[in-house]
């Protein structure tokens, strides 16, 4: 984690081998792939625009799932990322394009639907 993000909630995105999109919430502690850390302002800029009316509650994961995202949250203390929600429907074309345009978007070699935890990047 880069010093600017240490201890701060930071959300980053990734795409899997099937084209599924996911949001990863660091809880101020979770690992962030290097390319994401370098472009953290781009990732924060996008995550800050996502509608999340239940922000601050555990129901926020359902807000993101409703946007068509898998959701993984860092389990405190020490991790790993744990799947909190699965997409409800497909992501809008506009959201998909915005996520896929992020610089150095991490690509997960497997399928988000097949994993419950992510302890390292594959």
The model's pLDDT over 2-41, given as tens digits with 9 standing for 90+, comes to 555 565 678 999 999 999 999 999 988 899 998 898 999 9
Q: Are strands 117-118 and 81-85 parallel, antiparallel or unpaired?
A: antiparallel
Give the confidence band of 90 by pLDDT, cuts at 50, 70, 90: very high
Give the Cβ contact number of residue 22 at 10 Å. 24
Q: What is the pTM of this model?
A: 0.93
């Amino acid at each position: 984690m880069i010093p600017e993000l240490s201890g701060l909630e930071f959300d980053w995105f990734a795409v899997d081998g099937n084209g599924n999109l996911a949001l990863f919430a660091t809880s101020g502690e979770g690992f962030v792939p290097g390319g994401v850390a370098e472009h953290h302002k781009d990732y924060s800029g996008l995550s800050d625009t996502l509608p999340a009316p239940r922000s601050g509650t555990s129901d926020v994961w359902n807000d993101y799932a409703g946007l068509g995202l898998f959701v993984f949250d860092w389990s405190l203390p020490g991790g790993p990322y744990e799947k909190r929600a699965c997409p409800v429907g497909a992501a809008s074309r506009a959201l998909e394009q915005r996520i896929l345009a992020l610089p150095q978007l991490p690509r997960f070699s497997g399928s988000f639907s097949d994993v419950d935890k992510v302890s390292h990047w594959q």
